[in-house]
Structure 1
Amino acid sequence: MEGRLAGGVAPLFSLFLLVAALLLLARLGSCACPCRDPALCQPISGARDFEVFVFDIGGSNWRFYNWTHITTVATFGKYDPELMCYAHSRGARVVLKGDVAVTKIVDPAFRAAWINQQVELAKRQYMDGINIDIEQEVAKSSPEYDALTALVKETTEAFHKAIPGSQVTFDVAWCPDCIDKRCYNYTGIAESCDFVFVMSYDEQSQVWSDCIARANAPYNQTIAGYEQYISMGIDPQKIVMGVPWYGYDYTCLSLSKDHICSIAKVPFRGAPCSDAAGRQIPYRIIMSWENSSLSGILWNDEYQAPYLEYKAPNGVFHQVWFDDPRSISLKAAYVTDRGLRGIGMWNGDCLDYSGGYVAEEQTEAMWEALTPE
Structure 2
Amino acid sequence: MKGVLLVALLCALSVVHTKKTVVCFYGSWAAHRTGQGRFTVNNLDPHLCTHLVYAFSGINAQGMVVSIDPKLDLAEDNGADNYRQFNELKKKNTELKTLLAVGGFNEGSAKFSRMAASPALRKNFIESAIVTINKHGFNGLDVSWLYPNQRDSPNHQADVDNFSALLKEMRVYFDQRGLLLTIAVSAAPKVASKSYNVAALAQYVHLVNLMAHDLHGPWDPFTNHNAALHKGEGEQNVAKEDLLTDEAAVEYWLSKGCPPEKLVLGLPFFGHTYKLRYARINGVNAPATGPGIMGPHTQIPGAIAYFELCNLIRTENWLIKRDELAGVPYATKGENWMSYDDYQSIKAKVAFANKHNLAGVMAWSVEYDDFNNVCGGGKFTLLNAIHQVINEESIINNNNGTKASL
Compute the TM-score of the two structures, normalised by the length of structure 1. Answer: 0.75
Query: Which residue of 1 is the match for residue 96 of structure 2?
Result: 92
Q: Among residues 339, 342, 346, which one is paired with 1:324 in the alignment?
A: 342
Shift of 1:137: 4.3
CA contact (8 A) 2:98 2:139 kept: yes
CA distance in 2, matches of 1:108, 1:280: 39
User: Is 2:117 aligned against 1:147?
Assistant: no
Q: Among residues 259, 262, 270, which one is paired with 2:287 in the alignment?
A: 262
Shift of 1:112: 0.9
100-109 or 322-331, larger mean C-alpha shift: 100-109
Structure 2: runs of 5+ lacking an equivalent: 1-17, 32-38, 57-72, 74-81, 104-110, 231-244, 292-299, 393-406
Query: Which residue of 1 is the match for residue 118 of structure 2?
Result: 107
Distance 1:118 1:217, change over 3 A: same
Shift of 1:291: 3.4
CA contact (8 A) 1:177 1:183 kept: no
Shift of 1:258: 5.4
Number of aligned residues: 305
Shift of 1:226: 0.5
210-219 or 242-251, larger mean C-alpha shift: 210-219
Query: Which residue of 2 is the match for residue 32 of structure 1?
Result: none
Query: Which residue of 1 is the match for residue 83 of structure 2?
Result: 80
User: Is 2:147 aligned against 1:125?
Assistant: no
Shift of 1:322: 0.4
User: Taking every aligned residue pair, what percent have the same amino acid on both sides?
Assistant: 18
Q: Among residues 224, 228, 245, which one is paired with 2:269 in the alignment?
A: 245
Query: Which residue of 1 is the match for residue 381 of structure 2?
Result: 365
Query: Which residue of 1 is the match for residue 199 of structure 2?
Result: 187
CA contact (8 A) 1:305 1:327 kept: yes
Distance 1:206 1:283, change over 3 A: closer
Shift of 1:129: 0.4
CA contact (8 A) 2:331 2:338 kept: yes
CA contact (8 A) 1:251 1:278 kept: no
SS of residue in 1 equivalent to 2:190: coil
SS of residue in 2 equivalent to 1:323: coil
SS of residue in 1 equivalent to 2:86: helix
Structure (1 or 2) with the larger CA radius of gyration: 1
RMSD: 2.7
CA distance in 2, matches of 1:341, 1:197: 10
CA distance in 2, matches of 1:278, 1:246: 12
Shift of 1:69: 4.1
CA distance in 2, matches of 1:61, 1:177: 36
What amino acid is the match of 1:151? L
Query: Which residue of 1 is the match for residue 225 of structure 2?
Result: 215
CA contact (8 A) 1:66 1:367 kept: no
Correspondence 1:23-42 to 2 at 5 A: none
Compute the TM-score of the two structures, normalised by the length of structure 2. Answer: 0.69
Query: Which residue of 2 is the match for residue 34 of structure 1?
Result: none
CA distance in 1, matches of 2:276, 2:83: 41
CA contact (8 A) 1:250 1:278 kept: no
CA distance in 2, matches of 1:345, 1:306: 18
CA contact (8 A) 1:292 1:310 kept: no
